[in-house]
Amino acid sequence: MSKTKKIRQQFQVNFGFDLIFTEHLFDVQNKTLANLFSQNQLRKSKAIIVVDKGVTEFHPKLKASIRNYFDIHDSMLQICGNILEIPGGEQAKNDESYIKNILENINYFGIDRHSYVIVIGGGAVLDAVGFAASIAHRGVRLVRIPTTVLSQNDSGVGVKNGINYFGKKNFIGNFAIPFAVINDEAFLRTLNNRNWRSGISEAIKVALIKDLDFFNWIEKHTKALVNRNRQSMNELIYRCAEIHMEHISTSGDPFEQGSSRPLDFGHWAAHKLEQVSEYKILHGEAVSIGIALDSTYSYLKGYLTENEIKRILDCILNLGFTISYEQLNERVISGLEEFREHLGGQLTIMLLKSIGEGFEVHEMDKELVLKSIDYIRKYSI
């Protein structure tokens, strides 16, 4: 009988990227992009650019500004072909033809692993384009330029890419490190109130599970945020993005090999709500409902005090969110199994021990989930 042999391969790789905050990125006087490319290569490189159609509708001069910017700062980067546009929102992630079109352009223009894909848009567009960039040549350099609150403080600053498949959120996807992320505050000014508000839910999320002081700050600034105070929103985005990036770098599991995902607090129900609403409800809106549901569940389990659950629900409502929804019923409970499958292991749900302190459980009482749904429905009346 032959002897069994084994060689174990183990290594570490250091990943890093910069999150840059600026304003009017494509103003020719703004050297942020020019400096980014000139400092990181020895020869002139190539890039294709993909833009969220929703962004170009509100910024009709954007494509011309981009062209003008790179015509003037042309020593290190060549823009190839037309600036591509794809629909914003979940449509970008539901139709794989957009991925194919991006890959065809990467192939046609010879975008290699030292070239760039530059994507400008909301979180769904960043997810879809990032996925295409990550599978071409096993990964070409991606520069993300998020244009919504949600993408600037959460999805755009992470390491995930993905598209929806089989009717499931992010069924196809991967983890890939962007080359850089650039938050341009000027893009936020054209958001409608619904999209302005939507991204605040992710800040509530990280505050509730990690930072009491940050929750206190959000609670104190609800009026300013609702009234679109730019300074307050910029501070919220910066702090939320900082907490997200700190978690990714210090959690010990940046590529989510385990089943623990604290940053998915409120998301098991949110993903299912998006699906059953046929994506009519925005991701941030669904997350606000999911946060309300899991916070209420924590209260009914005896972890939160009555004062704490009132503070949480009032904060969400005062920001203009709806915490109940017509499809928030027993159908949503099937999202627990889909979430377990998405985690790739045992079910792990983040609950609240107190405001600012989350903890994990591995099972949910379905009857208590229904009671929690009833509680927040009555609370919101």
Q: Indicate if the pLDDT at residue 252 is higher than 70.
A: no
Cα–Cα distance measured from residue 33 to residue 223, given in angstroms and rounded to the nearest whole number: 35
**Could you tell me where the DSSP H helices lie in the chain?**
32-38, 53-58, 62-72, 91-94, 97-108, 123-135, 149-153, 193-198, 200-210, 212-220, 222-226, 230-250, 267-276, 283-300, 306-318, 334-343, 366-379
Binned at pLDDT 50, 70 and 90, residue 44 comes out as confident
Q: Which residue has the higher pLDDT, 124 or 169?
A: 124
Q: Pick from 117, 91, 112, 122: which is nearest to 102 by CA?
A: 117
Span 47-96, pLDDT tens digits: 999 999 999 999 999 999 999 999 998 877 899 999 999 999 889 999 99
At the topology level of CATH, where does 18-190 sit? Rossmann fold (3.40.50)
Q: Is 26 in contact with 62 (CB distance < 8 Å)?
A: yes
pLDDT at 253: 52
**What end-to-end distance do the CA atoms of the chain give, in Å?**
74
Span 318-337, pLDDT tens digits: 999 999 888 787 778 877 77
Q: Pick from 50, 59, 58: which is nearest to 81 by CA?
A: 50
Cα–Cα distance measured from residue 371 to residue 373, given in angstroms and rounded to the nearest whole number: 5
Q: Indicate if the pLDDT at residue 260 is higher than 50.
A: no
Q: 3-state class of 78 per DSSP? A: strand
pLDDT at 259: 43
* Percentage above 90 pLDDT, the chain: 69
What's the sign of the alpha-carbon dihedral 271, 274, 279, 281? negative
Binned at pLDDT 50, 70 and 90, residue 346 comes out as confident
Q: Which residue has the higher pLDDT, 340 or 286?
A: 286
* Per-domain residue ranges of the chain: 18-190, 193-228+241-251+259-379
pTM above 0.85, yes or no: yes
Q: Is 178 in contact with 130 (CB distance < 8 Å)?
A: yes
Tell me whether domains 18-190 and 193-228+241-251+259-379 share a fold: no
State in words which class domain 193-228+241-251+259-379 has. Answer: mainly alpha
Binned at pLDDT 50, 70 and 90, residue 41 comes out as low
Q: Is 354 in contact with 302 (CB distance < 8 Å)?
A: no
Q: Is 292 in contact with 323 (CB distance < 8 Å)?
A: yes
